[in-house]
Structure 1
Amino acid sequence: MFLPILMLLHSAFANYTDLTFELPDKEIQCFYEVLQKDDKFTLAFQVISGGHYDVDCFIESPARRMIYRKHKIRHDTFVAKAEFPGIYSFCFGNQFSTFTHKKVAFHLEVGELAPLLPIAEAKDSALTQLESSCNSIHFALSNVAKLQTQQRVQAAIDRLHAEDIRTHIIYWASSETIILFLVTVGQVIILKRFFTDKRVNASVANT
């Protein structure tokens, strides 16, 4: 019973790559994928944190031809087919930033998801109800995997925003506390000097 389920999960996730990485300032990071001719691929990415939430992104073919290039972009989705077989480069750049690191999440999908079981045209008989259900579950799991990836990215963005707001609140509250303490100490010193001056003047008058 467990073997078909494991095979189903493997088939559903075999064509996807999900990765979150940190991109240092003034650097370019590239990821490589071997594609065959006419392989369909989809690249989707989003900057999670850092600076103005923007990076450079470009894709190069094995012949070093630029297939896709965007400058200072926060998120995008690009779909294309491989014109030549070989190693394709998927690169992200942060050269324009002098000190800010960026955190980038990207999703790379290669090829189209094939049915778990042969389609009816490739068989002598039509699919049974069980086989049709397996194919439906197969595609549903693939969609669930994509939605979970999107949810994880959005959750990471929300968490980083919450931490950033928390840090600002702590700094602001600490600054207000320090200012209030200094004002209080200053008022005490001024009042103390005021009464001290009165005592000195009274002593001089009595003398």
Structure 2
Amino acid sequence: MNYRSPLLLSLSILGLVFRASGVELTFELPDNARECFYQEIEKNVTSTLEFQVVTGGQYDVDVTLESPTKEIIYKQVKTQFDSHTFKPSVSGVYKACFSNEFSTFSHKLVYMDFQVGDEPPLPGLGDHVTVMTQMESSAQEIHRNLNRILDYQTHHRLREAQGRKRAEDLNDRVLWWSVQETIAIIVTSVGQVLILKNFFTERKPPY
């Protein structure tokens, strides 16, 4: 058995550190604000921009992707989530901008994943000149599955955060509606008592 096989298996299980370059983050987008992120991409390197509005307002945002030549290669208006894969025709710094300028009071929490290039192979497999052993093939498959699981976990966390925020907003609305109904019932009850009491009150003549 090749001595590299156990090492490859350990790296695939422990690490997930050899991922494609890019940026993945969650950021706050204030009302009337615009945030831009920059990523250097080489020509003909397949890249993917993925985003999702987690919380805030109507869960929508404006998105534009601009090439180094100032050409708009992708644009979405008031969109909750989307994914765009492209292959740049020129090398340079690409700009992805998220705009909440149409909102006057709603802050947004936005998740963005900007992936550049393909997944690099595990160490030792990129220059493999012989047929891979069963252990090496299993390590590569485990590495691929772990990356897929990581993506699934990210999306489920986003859905969980979004569902929790909606539940909290619904709870607040129900609470305030219940408070208003309680106040209205109390005011109505007191008013009815005062009106009935006035009916049975003996009025003295004016003289």
TM-score, normalised relative to structure 2: 0.85
2:129 aligned with 1:155, yes or no? no
Moved more, 153-162 or 44-53: 44-53
Residue from 179, 183, 192 that aligns with 1:174: 179
- For 2:120 and 2:12, locate their aligned partners in 1 and report how far apart those are by CA, in whole Å: 16
Alignment of 1:196 with 2:184, yes or no, is no
Structure 1 outlier segments of 4+, above 4 Å:
117-120
Kindly name which structure, 1 or 2, has the bigger radius of gyration based on alpha carbons.
1
Q: Name structure 2 gaps, 5 residues minimum.
A: 1-6
**Could you tell me how far apart the structure 2 residues matched to 1:173 and 1:45 are?**
36
1:114 Cα offset (Å) = 2.5
- What residue is the counterpart of 1:58 in the other structure? 64
| Corresponding position of 1:115 | 121
Distance 1:45 1:148 in 2: 15
| Pairs aligned (count) | 198
Q: Residues 20 and 120 of structure 2 are in contact (CA less than 8 Å); yes or no, is this contact kept in structure 1?
A: no
Distance 1:27 1:124 in 2: 53
CA RMSD of aligned residues (A): 2.3
| 1:47-105 per-position Cα deviation (integer Å, ceiling 9, x unaligned) | 22323222111111122221111222222110011222221111111222222222211
1:76 to 52, 64, 82: 82
Deviation at 1:168, TM superposition (A): 0.7
- Structure 1 contact 115–138 (Cα < 8 Å) conserved: no
Q: Give the equivalent residue in structure 2 for 1:10.
A: 17
Give, in angstroms, the shift of residue 123 of structure 1. Answer: 3.0
**Partner amino acid, structure 1, of 2:88:** A
Higher helix share: 1
1:103 aligns with 2:109: yes
Query: Does the C-alpha gap of structure 1 residues 46 and 4 become closer, same or farther in structure 2, counting only changes over 3 Å?
Result: closer
Q: Distance in 2 between matches of 1:3 and 1:133?
A: 11
- 1:14 deviates by 5.0
Please tell me the residue identity of whatever aligns with 1:111: G
What residue in structure 1 maps to residue 142 of structure 2?
A: 137
Work out which structure has the larger RCO, using CA pairs closer than 8 Å and 6 or more positions apart in sequence: 2
2:192 aligned counterpart, secondary structure: helix
Matched, 1:26 2:32: yes
